[in-house]
Amino acid sequence: MDEALFEMFLDVAYRRSRDVAVETFRKHHPDVVDAVVAEFDRRTAKVKNGYPPKILAAPGKRDGGWYAGPQPNDVFWPPFKKFLLDEKNWPEDRVDVLDEVSSKIIGFADDPAELKFQTKGLVVGHVQSGKTTNFTAVVGKAADVTYRVVIILSGIHNGLRMQTQQRLKEQLFDLNAGGWIEMTDVERDFRRPTQSAVSLLQPNGQKVAVFVVKKWHTVLAKLILWLKTARPTLANIPALIIDDEADQASVDTKQINPKIRELLALFPRATYLGYTATPFANVLIDPNADDLYPESFIVSLPKPDGYFGAETIFGRDAVEGEARGADLDGHDMVRIIGDDEVPSLRPASRAATAGFTPDLTDSLREAVQYFWLATAVRRSRGDAGHSTMLVHTSMTTAIHEAFRPVLQAFRKRVLDGLEAQDPVVLESVRSQWQDEAGRVRLGEYPPIDFDALQPFLQQVVHDTKIVLDNCRSKDRLDYTGAPVTAIAVGGNTLSRGLTLEGLVTSFFVRSASTYDTLLQMGRWFGFRSGYEDLPRIWMTERLRSWFRHLAAVEHEIRLDIERYEEQDLSPRDVGVRIRTHPVLNVTAKMGAHRIAYASYGGRRVQTRYFPEDDKTWLEKNLVAGQKLVEAAVGDGVIVEDADGVLLLREVDVAHVIEFLAKYQVHGDSADLRTDLITKYIRKENKQSDSSLLTWTVAVVGSPPEGADDDHRITFTDGFTVGTVNRSKLKESGGSKADIKTLMSKEHRVIDLDIAPAAARRMPEADLIDSRDRDPGHRRQGLLLLYPIAKDSPPDPGNELTRAPLQAAAHVLGMALVFPGTADDWVPNVSYIQVDLRDQAIDATDMEEERAALSEDDS
C-alpha cells in the first residue's frame, strides 16, 4: 500500500466524502483504487461499538496534542504490539484499536517533560473486556515517553495481583528484560528492598521501576515509607499510578484511600489513572475534596468486537430516542432458577449458615450437565482450551465447602452412568442437549447432534475438577499449565478482576444490593471466541431483571460521556448521570450526589456538524430562522435589540415547533434530533405546570454597523445583525464540517439577569439551577440562533487545528436550553449525578468564547 496515495484518499474522503474520493481515484489512479478503498474501509470499520473512544476532558487537556503517538525508535510498545500479533494472534484491526485508544489516554495525561503536574483520569471499560491489556499498552507507551516509575494498584486479593504481575511479566518485562526494574514478582507483593530508593530510582536512567501491589494499607504503608527516603529524587521522576478496579477500596475508605492519596502526593509529576468497569463510586466523589475525583478526564473505552456484555446476554430497556425493538432483547442464554429452589442452595440468614447442606436441585443438575455437554461440543470442534463453570451462591467459605461433596457425588454418578451406558443417564443428557441445541445462533457453526458430541462427553466428565476458590482454600484455579476443565465454587475472590478462562456455564444465586457489586460478579462477561453460541447462565428471574436494568445504566453512562464530549464539557462542568433503581443502590459510596433531571430537562443541545457544500440545505435553515423571527415579531413579542443580539421574549411554542419542523440537522447529530425534541416539548406542554409553552428566542450576531453588506443578515423588517465566526476543525469539511462548539458558556443564561463574566465562572450545575430559581424562566425554554459567516476564519493561534469555513452559504447554528423542571421521560425512571454546585470555576479561554461577541462585562 502506497501510504502517500492512501493519505491523499483519506484527505479527499474526510474533506468531501468517501464516494467523491472513490470517484476521483477511479479517474486518476485506477490501478490502486480497489486496494485503497479496501484499506480505508478496513480502518474505518473500527468506528463500531463506541470507537473512537469518547472522552470528557478538562479544557487544558482537550486535544491531547503533546503526544504524537508511537515513534520508530520506541523501546517498550513495539515488542508488546508484536507479541499481540505473533503470539496472541490478534487481528491487525484489534491491535490498531488498542494502539489508538492507549495513545489517546497517554495524550490526555500530562507530558512528563513538564516540571510539575498531577493528572487524575478515569478509564471506563467493560467487565472482563481487556482492561489489563489496555493499561499494559499504556504502561509501555508511558515508559517510551520517559515515565520512570509505574505503580499498579491491583485489587485487594492476591489472586488478581498475581495474575496482573504474571501478565506484565509475559507481555512487557520478558520482552525487554533490560528495560525494567521489577520491584515485585508473581509470588511476592512489595517488600522493602535491600537497595535504597535513591539508588534504584534514577530520574535520567533508561530503566523503569514497576511495582504491582495490592490495595492493602499495610502494603501501601511499606511502599510509601520506602519511597519517602528518596523524596528529593522523586521530584524529578515522572510517575504513572494505575489503580485497577478503581471503585474498589480506593473510594471513601478510612485506611486505603488516604494511602493512595499520600502515594500520589509523593510525586510532583504524576499521572493517576483509575480503571474500572463500574465507575459509579468514582464519578460521585466530592470534587471539592482533596481526593481522587477524575477532574482531568473520563474516557469510555470502546466495546471490543466479540465482547459479551450485559446487553448481549440480558438485553436492555430502550433509552431516550430508541424504539423498543427485538434488537434490545438479548440472546436466549439465561435459564431461570425457581424461587422455591433458592432455600436449598443458600442459607436464608447468617445464623442458618452453620450446618447448612445444599441440595442438588433440578436447576443445579441441569447447569452442571449442560457444562459437560457444552465442553464436549467444544472438544468436538477441536477446541482443547480451558473450560470452566462458575458456582456462586454465597460469599461464605463454609457454604463453598458444603458444595464440594454434592458436586463430587453427582460427577461420580454421571461418570459411572456414562461408562456403563446407563439409559437413564444417557436419556437425561441427550434430551437436555436436544432442548438446548440451536437456541443461540452466534458464530458460524454447523448444527451438532448428540451422537456427534457423545464420544467426548465421558472424557470431559472424567477430567472435571471441583475447585474451591476463596480466601481460605488451597486448591485455587490455576490456568498456567495444561488445559483445565473445572467447576469453580467461590465467592468474593471470583467476583472481581480475576478472569475465569473458558467460562461456559454460570450458576448464580448470590444477591447483592449495589450496581457495582452485582456487575462485578458477572464473570460471564468477556470473550467466547470459538464457542459464542454455548455460554449459559442460571439465575433467578429477579436477578435477570436487575442485570437487564444495569445494561441500560451502562449504556446511558457512555451516552452521557459522548454527549458531554460533543458539548466540550469537562468532569468539573457536569456529572455523568446514573439511572436509579427502586430496589438496588447505585453504590455503597454515594459521595456528593444530587438528583439529576431526566430526558432534556436541564440540558443544552447545539449544532456541531453541517454540510458546508450543500447550499440549498444551508439556505433552507436560514429561511426557517427568518420565518421564526418574523412570526414572533408579528405576534407583538417583546424585542430587545443591542449590539447585534436580538432577544425575543414570550414567543409562543407553536412558532418554535414550526421552526424545528423546518430546521435540518446533520445525520450525525444524534443528540439534536428535532423529532424527539418536539415530542418532549409537546409532553411538557401537557404537564400540570404547563412547561415550555413560551420561549425566549435569541439571535446571537454581531453589531451590523461593523459588518459589510455580505455579512449582514436581515431576520425581519427592522432587525438586522452581523454574522459571527465559527471556524471548523481542520480535518473536517465537505458533507460534514465540524465547528465542535457553537455556544459560549454565558449564552446559556443570555436571557437572565446574570453578567457574562459571572456566568463564565459559574459551574454548569449552577447555570442549570439559575434558570430554575428564576420565577419568570423556570418553565420557559431558550432557543438561540447563530448566523455564522460562510468564510469564518480561525482565531489567531488556532491555525494548527482550525481551518476557515468554506460554506456555500451562511450557516444558521441552533441551540436549545431547557429548564431543569422536566418530569421523567419514562415513568419511574430517575437519575443522580455528582453535585458540582459549589465548584469554583475560573473563566476559560475556549475558542468559542474568544470568537463570541465581545461584551462589556463591567
Q: Which of 163-167, 462-466, 538-542, 566-570 has the lowest mean pLDDT?
A: 566-570
**Rg of the chain (C-alpha set):** 30
Q: Are 363 and 508 in contact (CB under 8 A)?
A: no
* pLDDT one-digit tens code per residue, 373-404: 999 999 999 999 999 999 998 888 888 889 99
How many helices and strands (H and E) does the chain possess?
A: 24, 31
Round to whole Å and give the CA distance between 79 and 856: 57
Q: How far apart are the first and last CA of the chain?
A: 60
844 pLDDT tier (thresholds 50, 70, 90):
very low
pLDDT at 826 exceeding the cut of 50: no
- Asked if pLDDT for residue 170 goes beyond 60, the answer is yes
59 against 755, higher pLDDT: 755
User: The C-alpha cell of 782 is what?
Assistant: 431558550
The length of the chain is 858
CA 454 to chain centre: 43
pLDDT for the residue numbered 323: 47
DSSP characters over 528-563: -TT-TT--EEEE-HHHHHHHHHHHHHHHHHHHHHHH
If DSSP codes are grouped into helix, strand and coil, which group holds residue 540? coil
**Residues 168-175: what's their mean pLDDT?**
96
Residue 130 one-letter amino acid: G
Find which of 126-135, 218-227, 349-358, 836-845 is predicted with most confidence, using mean pLDDT: 218-227
Grid cell of 296 as nine digits: 482531568
CATH code for the structural domain at 56-62+76-305:
3.40.50.300
Question: How many CB atoms sit inside 10 A of residue 412's CB?
Answer: 11
Q: Beta-carbon neighbour count of residue 472 at 10 Å?
A: 10
Please give the DSSP secondary-structure letter assigned to residue 824.
Answer: P
pLDDT in tens, 449-469: 999 999 999 999 999 999 987
Weakest mean pLDDT among 79-88, 199-208, 240-249: 199-208
DSSP class of residue 374 equals H
- Locus of grid cell 439577569: 753
Give yes or no for residue 428 having a pLDDT over 50: yes
- Sheet with 831-834: strands ordered across: 578-579, 831-834, 593-596
142 has a pLDDT exceeding 70: yes
Rounded distance between C-alpha atoms, residue 420 and residue 413, angstroms: 11
pLDDT at 815: 94
For residue 802, pLDDT over 70 is answered with yes
pLDDT at 760 over 60: yes
pLDDT digits (tens, 9 = 90+) for 478-506: 888 899 999 999 876 665 556 788 999 99
If one compares 20 and 142, the residue with the highest pLDDT of the two is 142
Compute the average pLDDT of residues 706-727.
Answer: 93
Q: What is the DSSP string of 650-680?
A: EEEHHHHHHHHHH----TT-GGG-HHHHHHH
Q: How many CA atoms lie within 13 A of 291 on its CB side?
A: 20
CA-based nearest residue to 464, from 449, 486, 436: 486
Grid coordinates representing 750? Answer: 443570555
- What does the pLDDT look like over 578-615, one tens digit per residue? 888 777 888 888 888 877 666 677 788 899 899 999 99
Q: CB under 8 Å to 664, separation ≥6 — which residues?
A: 617, 620, 621
Dihedral (CA of 848, 853, 856, 857) sign: negative
Q: Which of 48-52, 336-340, 356-360, 505-509 has the lowest mean pLDDT?
A: 48-52
Residue 819 pLDDT greater than 90, yes or no:
no
Spatial neighbors of 9 by CB under 8 A, at least 6 apart, are 21, 25, 36, 37, 40
Q: Answer whether 787's CB lies under 8 Å from 646's CB.
A: no
3-state SS class at 313: helix
Q: Considering only 56-70, 303-317, 652-666, 690-704, which range has the smallest mean pLDDT?
A: 56-70
Read off the pLDDT band of 46 (50, 70, 90): very low
**DSSP label at residue 94:** H
pLDDT at 23 over 90: no
Whether the predicted pLDDT of 8 surpasses 50: yes
Sequence-distant (6+) residues with CB within 8 A of 646 are 629, 639, 640, 697, 698, 699, 701, 715, 719, 721
pLDDT for 825 equals 40
52 upstream amide cis, omega within 30 of 0: yes
Q: Which residue has the cell 424585542?
A: 639
Q: Angle at which helices 423-436 and 450-463 pack, to 10 degrees?
A: 110
Q: What is the pLDDT of residue 494?
A: 62
| Secondary structure letter of residue 41 according to DSSP | H
Burial class (CB in 10 A: 0-12, 13-18, 19+), 158: middle
| E strand or H helix that includes residue 388 | strand 387-392
Closest alpha carbon to 241 in 218, 210, 217, 219: 210
Per-residue pLDDT, averaged over 524-536, amounts to 87
Q: Hey, what's the cell of 88?
A: 496472541
Task: Give 538's pLDDT tier (boundaries 50, 70, 90).
Answer: very high
Q: Would you kindly state where each structural domain of the chain is located, as residue ranges?
A: 1-50, 56-62+76-305, 308-547, 604-851
Q: How far apart are CA 239 and CA 152, in angstroms?
A: 11
Given a cut of 70, is residue 133 above it in pLDDT?
yes
Give residue 206's pLDDT band: very low, low, confident or very high (50, 70, 90).
confident
Nearest residue to 698 via CA among 852, 856, 858: 852
Residue type for 12, please?
Answer: V
Q: What is the model's pLDDT at position 842?
A: 33
Which pLDDT does position 302 carry in this prediction? 83
Determine which of 201-205, 243-247, 267-271, 422-426 has the lowest per-residue pLDDT on average. 201-205
In sign, the C-alpha dihedral spanning 343, 344, 345, 347 is: positive
Distance separating alpha carbons of residues 182 and 692, to the nearest angstrom: 62
Q: At what angle do helices 362-380 and 423-436 cross, to 10 degrees?
A: 80
Averaged pLDDT for residues 321-344: 78
Residue 91's pLDDT band (cuts 50, 70, 90): confident
Q: Which of 123-127, 151-155, 701-705, 798-802 has the lowest mean pLDDT?
A: 798-802
Q: What's the mean per-residue pLDDT of the chain?
A: 86
Pairing verdict, β 297-300 and 117-124: parallel
- CA 449 – CA 438 distance, rounded (Å): 10
Question: Residue 827: is its pLDDT beyond 50?
Answer: no
Query: H-helix or E-strand containing 453?
Result: helix 450-463
Residue 852 pLDDT exceeds 60: no
Site of grid cell 436549545: 816
Write down the pLDDT at residue 64: 63
User: Of 36 and 62, which is predicted with more confidence?
Assistant: 36
pLDDT tens, residue by residue, 396-423:
888 888 999 999 999 999 999 999 999 9
- Give the range among 350-359, 664-673, 815-824 with minimum mean pLDDT: 815-824
Residue with cell 456484555: 309
Please check the confidence at residue 563 and state whether its pLDDT lies above 80.
no
Label residue 765 by pLDDT band (50, 70, 90).
Answer: confident
The top-scoring range by mean pLDDT among 68-77, 586-595, 601-610, 821-830 is: 68-77
